[in-house]
Structure 1
Amino acid sequence: MEVTASTPAGSSPDRGWGAVPELSEQTVAQIAGALEASQSAGTRRVYASDWRRFRSWCHTHGHPALPAHPATVAAYPVDAADTLADAGEKAYSPSTLNRWVSVIGHYHRTTNLRNPCTEALVTSTLSGIRRTYATNGDRPRNPRAPLLTSDIVTIVRSARQAVTGWATEVHERRDSAMLLMGFAGAFRRSDLVALHCGDVAVHRLDGLHVRLRRSKTDQEGLGAVRALPFTAHHHSCPPCAYVRWAQIVAAYDIAGRPGVIRLLPTTPPFEDHVCRSALPRMRARAPLFRAIAKNGNLSDTALSGASVHAAIRRRAQAAGYDANIVAQLGGHSLRAGFVTQAFRNGADAHAIMRQTGHTNPATAELYAREHAPLVGNAVTDIGL
């Protein structure tokens, strides 16, 4: 996004504010930096890509992209909705079309132009596309299947039983911590990969306090703390899993690969709680969950979201889950699993929202409708 003293043709130069004041180059650069920082790098990449696509489409069809007429904006998703993929299904989902239109509106707003996307022609066209998709059964939602408590315990147990040497134990400790912490904390995969070592602390009463410095719904970084409690059984205890992984991270950061190799033979078998053990010192700003080579060497870089997704599928497959079920799993299975399990255990939406960070109960209850449809449902009491 560019900040200049001029405004594009067709815009309202002042909107009642008067002439644009003269600003120093330094001030203009600082404003531009603040505007850029208002969105994550990922969002900026997506917006730029979507905007290039719209400009190219407009160029091909002989329409101006900025400012765009509402009829142009309405024609854009209609044209895309008719595009078919190789398998014969619709190439673009309704959510993708909505995002494209939102990006068009964003570029109009940020250049002080009238937003064509709020006109009834555009909003009604998008509504019609969604209804047509729904009627024809095109591109239905395909949410990730939830992993419930029993699934997490089964997968973690399988991972620990599969350990055959120090390298596989390094992988197991990371994946067990990721699964148990991700599930108990109702974390998105983006939350997990963004964690630094200094974001996690063992609390003598609560278990773990995990500070989210920012999240998908907290782009301004107000922050939040999620508690992951001690549990009765050590094999399913998120704080224990964290301590076991923290030992690996600390050993690697201090002495590299030799430090990890020296650590593991001296560690007693994991037969009881270790969550109240003294924690080794770690670099506070270092990533907590990291990529690991096949030979057990840790990386200094954070694990990617795609790697979280792949690890969950790989561990589920190794635990004997059917291939069709594995194909439905992903990074969101941990968060979806927490919400689904909590509803099945009788928690209400507001209690669940305390952990998930949802701001709308309807969003949390969507999981109940999709994955726990019998919870609170009168069909269980009709006497059949």
Structure 2
Amino acid sequence: MAEETDPEEECHVPIALPSHVAGSGTLDRLVDTARNYARASASENTLRAYATDWAQFTRWCRLKGAEPLPPSPELIGLYLADLAAPRDSASGLSVSTIERRLSGLARGYAQRGLTLDRRNRHIATVLAGIRRKHARPPVRKEAILPEDILAMLATLPRDLRGLRDRAMLLLGYAGGLRRSEIVGLDRHKDDTPDSGGWVEIFDKGALLTLNAKTGWREVEVGRGSSEQTCPVHALEQWLHFARIDFGPIFVRTSRDGSRALEARLNDRHVARLVKDCVLRAGLRADLPEAERLALYSGHSLRAGLASSAEVDERHVQKHLGHASAEMTRRYQRRRDRFRVNLTKAAGL
């Protein structure tokens, strides 16, 4: 029976020379280059999630006395049904999680030179039934509004670490950035191999060039009406006092918070920062702490900008890098849903 796969090992793409081609220094280097490009086809978080999906499936197969290879649509249909079925007092996995697990299996088979036909009736009909019976409206994170971000900023310390976190919150909010886009920024173009973009600072604002989830895009972050709330001023203060003129912009600090280090922050720091500031600022204090923490995430910054910017929706869509206006509307928590009234327009 196939052994479970280590998620870390699964992140490595098995690209090699054809068996009938003799190796050489040049070809071996090209294999390494191709592997690096293949790894860059998805984020580390996505690759790690897919690896975990495969490991969980192989463990399920072992417990059921089944073989994960070759792909069996009948077996995978049973696996999906088991994921969705309630257990004791606990409900099954959400539809979105099950679909993600299925994508992970498809990638796992592809990595092994095999194809999983997701349209096979044993998979497609089971998944359609799961969607019909268990699908729920998406749970959206709470948007951080202007008064909320001000309260959160007030909780930060006045040391170097506080300057960094202030710049991250303000830039993430005003830029409508994903958390990976915040920590992926470098001071200049091509500073580091793992760069997710770079920053140029001008008199009127900052231009962020991002290698984002949907491709390259530019984000213009203008200066604010006050230095206390200006994301560009906060960024300048951090860069100056941290003495950062090359490489990653948002880096770790020494234990006492007085000195900037070289290591780039992980994107999970943004989520922790948002949650910590939410608690300290007392946002949604009417709820228990666990519910408050579940309501907010790094995405709350992005949703906050979309909900608060009183400009034409097309500008918000471009700023966030959305392909459609409908996606932008999903982020707008307090837009006027009935601004366009087709009932009256139809004469009623």
Q: TM-score, normalised by structure 2?
A: 0.79
Q: Which of 251, 266, 271 does residue 304 from structure 1 map onto?
A: 266
Deviation at 1:226, TM superposition (A): 1.2
- Number of the residue aligned with 2:202: 203
- Number of the residue aligned with 2:255: 293
- Alpha-carbon distance between aligned partners in 1 of 2:284 and 2:36, rounded to the nearest angstrom: 49
- Alpha-carbon distance between aligned partners in 2 of 1:52 and 1:34, rounded to the nearest angstrom: 24
Instruction: Report how many residues are paired.
Output: 315
Would you tell me which structure has more helix in proportion to its own residues?
1
Could you say if the C-alpha distance between residues 316 and 61 of structure 1 is closer, same or farther in structure 2, counting changes exceeding 3 Å?
closer
Question: Are the counterparts in 2 of residues 287 and 301 from structure 1 also a CA contact under 8 Å?
Answer: no
Question: Are the counterparts in 1 of residues 274 and 298 from structure 2 also a CA contact under 8 Å?
Answer: yes
- Number of the residue aligned with 2:146: 149
Question: Are the counterparts in 1 of residues 73 and 120 from structure 2 also a CA contact under 8 Å?
Answer: yes
SS at match of 1:177: helix
Structure 1 unmatched runs, 5+: 7-19, 251-281
Question: Are the counterparts in 1 of residues 251 and 262 from structure 2 also a CA contact under 8 Å?
Answer: no
1:245 aligns with 2:212: no
Could you say if the C-alpha distance between residues 5 and 237 of structure 1 is closer, same or farther in structure 2, counting changes exceeding 3 Å?
closer
1:332 aligns with 2:269: no
- Alpha-carbon distance between aligned partners in 1 of 2:35 and 2:132, rounded to the nearest angstrom: 40
Paired residues for 1:155-170 under 5 Å: 155-156=152-153, 158-159=154-155, 168-170=158-160
Could you say what the CA RMSD is over the residues aligned between the two structures, in angstroms?
A: 3.0
SS at match of 1:175: helix
Structure 2 unmatched runs, 5+: 1-12, 189-197
1:43 aligns with 2:46: yes
- Alpha-carbon distance between aligned partners in 2 of 1:295 and 1:204, rounded to the nearest angstrom: 30
Q: Which of 163, 167, 181 does residue 177 from structure 1 map onto?
A: 167
Could you say if the C-alpha distance between residues 149 and 292 of structure 1 is closer, same or farther in structure 2, counting changes exceeding 3 Å?
farther
- Alpha-carbon distance between aligned partners in 2 of 1:284 and 1:202, rounded to the nearest angstrom: 14
Deviates more, 1:49-58 or 1:176-185: 49-58
Deviation at 1:185, TM superposition (A): 0.4
Q: Which of 376, 380, 384 does residue 339 from structure 2 map onto?
A: 376
Question: Are the counterparts in 1 of residues 251 and 261 from structure 2 also a CA contact under 8 Å?
Answer: no
SS at match of 1:225: strand
- Alpha-carbon distance between aligned partners in 2 of 1:92 and 1:49, rounded to the nearest angstrom: 15
Deviation at 1:294, TM superposition (A): 4.5
- What code does the residue aligned with 2:234 have? A
1:352 aligns with 2:316: yes
- What code does the residue aligned with 2:74 have? A
Could you say if the C-alpha distance between residues 306 and 29 of structure 1 is closer, same or farther in structure 2, counting changes exceeding 3 Å?
closer
- Alpha-carbon distance between aligned partners in 1 of 2:32 and 2:165, rounded to the nearest angstrom: 43
Could you say if the C-alpha distance between residues 299 and 375 of structure 1 is closer, same or farther in structure 2, counting changes exceeding 3 Å?
farther
Could you say if the C-alpha distance between residues 193 and 33 of structure 1 is closer, same or farther in structure 2, counting changes exceeding 3 Å?
closer
Q: TM-score, normalised by structure 1?
A: 0.72
- What code does the residue aligned with 2:339 have? G
- Alpha-carbon distance between aligned partners in 2 of 1:152 and 1:355, rounded to the nearest angstrom: 19
- What code does the residue aligned with 1:352 have? V
- What code does the residue aligned with 1:226 have? V
Deviation at 1:34, TM superposition (A): 3.5
Give CA-to-partner distance per residue, 1:204-225, whole Å, 9 cap, x none: 34x011222x23333xxxx332
Question: Are the counterparts in 1 of residues 166 and 234 from structure 2 also a CA contact under 8 Å?
Answer: yes
- What code does the residue aligned with 1:359 have? A
